[in-house]
Structure 1
Amino acid sequence: MQPQVQHMVEKLEHLSPDRLAEVDNFIDFLQQRDQGNRLRRDFAHLSEAAFAKLWNNDEDAIYDQL
């Protein structure tokens, strides 16, 4: 086990059941937030090619300077 993880486990051993539940909820929150960020990043990356056809054209070149 990594030293940082072992240190966290030692801290968790001293928490009350109520506090452990809060920590568990916070970990779930962090995981969901990270997953949401990954999904948004992946979606943006995948849509770049599709939008490039719309964004890169001579008619709208004037807007590139804004």
Structure 2
Amino acid sequence: MSPATQALIEKIEALPPDRLSEVEDFVDFLRMRDQERGLIRAAAATSAASFAAIWENPEDDAYNDL
């Protein structure tokens, strides 16, 4: 276990019991946010090929230099 992880565990263990649920809620929030960001990135990567023909066309080449 890394020193940073051990230090965090010690801080959590020092909290009063009623605060542990707040820590757990925050950790759940962080994990959910990371999952949602991963889904957004995957959706963007999947749709990029579909939109390539729309985004890359001679009529819009002038905008590439802006």
* Shorter-normalised TM range: 0.7 to 0.9
Note the C-alpha offset of 1:64: 5.2
How far 1:54 moved relative to its partner?
A: 2.7
Structure 1 residue ranges (4+ consecutive) displaced by more than 4 angstroms after TM superposition: none
RCO higher in structure (CA 8 A, sep ≥6) = 2
Compare the two structures and name the one with the higher helix fraction: 2
Give CA deviations for 1:5-58 in whole Å, capped at 9, x if unaligned: 100111111111111100000000000011111111111111111111233334
Question: Given residue 10 of structure 2, which amino acid in structure 1 is its aligned partner?
Answer: E
Number of matched residues?
64
| Paired position in structure 1 for 2:36 | 36
Structure 2 unmatched runs, 5+: none
Residue 26 (structure 1) aligns with: 26
**TM-score of the superposition, structure 2-length normalised?**
0.82
> Distance in 1 between the 2:51 and 2:37 partners?
20
Q: Cα RMSD over matched residues?
A: 1.7
Q: Which runs of 5+ in 1 are unaligned?
A: none
Residue 9, structure 1, aligned to residue 14, structure 2? no
Length-normalised TM-score, structure 1: 0.82
